[in-house]
Chain A
Amino acid sequence: MCLGIPGQIVAITDASRGLATVDVAGVKREISVAFVRNADEAVEQLIGAWVLVHVGFAMSRIDEDEAAETLKILSELGEVAQETEAMRASGRA
């Protein structure tokens, strides 16, 4: 359920209504950033931020560190798998 796509905020179109332009792989659309702006920061601070877009609303700011962390775990798994594979191969030899 709930199709959500990562996109990058590239412009603010209406600060008072919290509307911004999001770019998804070169396709642009106006969305609301009402759910991801901090009350104490100017909405322009969001320019450049990656967000998850669902039905025309940014619903979450993408945590780039978390994303990197997940990929790191997956890479390490890959290395472990390769080593196990190598060990198996050398054990057989």
Chain B
Amino acid sequence: MRFVDEFRDADKAKALLAEIGTVAAKAADRMGRPANIMEVCGGHTHSIFRYGIGDLLPKSIELVHGPGCPVCVLPMGRVDDCVAIAEQPGVIFATFGDAMRVPGSKKSLLQAKAEGSDIRMVYSPLDALALARANPDREVVFFGLGFETTMPSTAMTVLQAAADGTKNFSLICNHITIIPTMKAILDDPGLQLDGFLGPGHVTMVIGLEPYEFIGATYNKPVVIAGFEPLDVLQSVWMVMQQLSQGRAVIENQYGRIVPKGGNPVARDAITRVFELRDFFEWRGLGSIEHSGVKMRAAYAQFDAERRFSVPDVKVADPEACQCGDVLKGIIKPRQCRVFGTACTPETPLGALMVSSEGACAAYYQYGPRAGDEPEKANAA
């Protein structure tokens, strides 16, 4: 596949790993301890596990898996609201596949479906709009979630519904924003992060400028990274170079996809339809200022929260759950007291176990287990 296979080349990866080894040694000299790099985005977590990248890196680089899986950070109360809407008679509830398994306080969408709610899996919000057109006597509600990458698509779908005069389509908006969240992480006192792999696909929409404060104010390097294994390795190398030279700026490894200025047309669609919420609740991270968006009053008729009565009850995360500490990189998934016991992908307690992008699910599925032979010593 073009623009995919080229970036999975094993020889180039070996060369990169050798370079990373050299730079990491320099950085370690400078810092006197291993470097903690957070990949903000669940897509990176996925690539890192899928290609076994973590084990290939020198010991002096520690990858910390960040909060960037919009499915994982959905709080239970929001899932409950979705279930409540889906259970109303006459509703077709359309959702991306991976959101179906997220546990609510009583059930997931998958369970609601089994109990008879009409819940359909779609690939695109446009498919949900098509469902509305094909079923004029039903109410079609789309479960909008995701970061700025996905936001323009749902915004455009709402704009299309408005232009077509579609009356039976609405959106339950759970979109979240990345920058306030990174800021919340940076402000956490318990945190020890030295740099970031930035979310490539979010940045193709928002552009590089919003990240500048991270270098300027917090003195941490950020490299916007692609998702193929070579992209991830090259980005790690770029972060390590900054660390070894004592620099902290925003750099772009993913230039083929991410233009400096992002995508202004997409941003325009976002601002037409959505506005910032004062606060949005994240599973594991709590309430973060300006970290979510809601629909503007002008599009009230497409806003499922206004059209349907939803419980809108905050549900606290289960007590045993340590997702927050994992999300902030304070503990590794395996260190959570319920990892692999009360919390497994089959019966997820915390959200990080739900989607295969979630750090805990990735550890569970791809990582070594207790009883395994000790991990191989690193090449570098």
Q: Is A1 an interface residue (CB 8 A)?
A: yes
Residue on A with the closest CB to B164?
Answer: A17
**Residues B156 and A75 in contact, CB atoms below 8 Å apart:** no
A-B pairs under 8 A by CB, number: 142
Residue on A with the closest CB to B20?
Answer: A77
- Note all chain A residues with C-beta closer than 8 A to B263: 35-36, 59-60
- Note all chain B residues with C-beta closer than 8 A to A57: 124, 126, 152-153, 156
8 Å CB contact of B68 from A1, A59, A77: A1
Residue on B with the closest CB to A71?
Answer: B6
**Residues B43 and A84 in contact, CB atoms below 8 Å apart:** no
**B224-267: which have CB < 8 Å to A?**
227, 230, 234, 253, 255-259, 263, 265-266
Residue on A with the closest CB to B2?
Answer: A6
- Note all chain A residues with C-beta closer than 8 A to B12: 71, 74-75, 77-78
The secondary structure that dominates the A interface is mixed
8 Å CB contact of B256 from A3, A8, A67: A67
Q: Is A81 an interface residue (CB 8 A)?
A: yes
**Residues A63 and B259 in contact, CB atoms below 8 Å apart:** yes
8 Å CB contact of B150 from A2, A35, A75: A2
Interface size class of A (residues with CB under 8 A): 35 or more
Q: List 18 A-B contacts (CB under 8 A).
A: A1-B41, A1-B147, A2-B199, A4-B149, A4-B204, A4-B257, A24-B1, A32-B126, A35-B263, A55-B96, A57-B126, A57-B156, A60-B204, A63-B255, A74-B9, A78-B14, A81-B15, A85-B18
Binding site for A on B (CB under 8 A): 1-4, 6-7, 9, 11-12, 14-16, 18-19, 41-43, 68-70, 96, 123-127, 146-147, 149-150, 152-153, 156, 160, 199-202, 204-205, 227, 230, 234, 253, 255-259, 263, 265-266, 269, 357
Given A56-B123, A70-B234, A80-B19, 6 more pairs with CB closer than 8 A: A50-B3, A67-B256, A79-B15, A81-B14, A81-B18, A81-B19
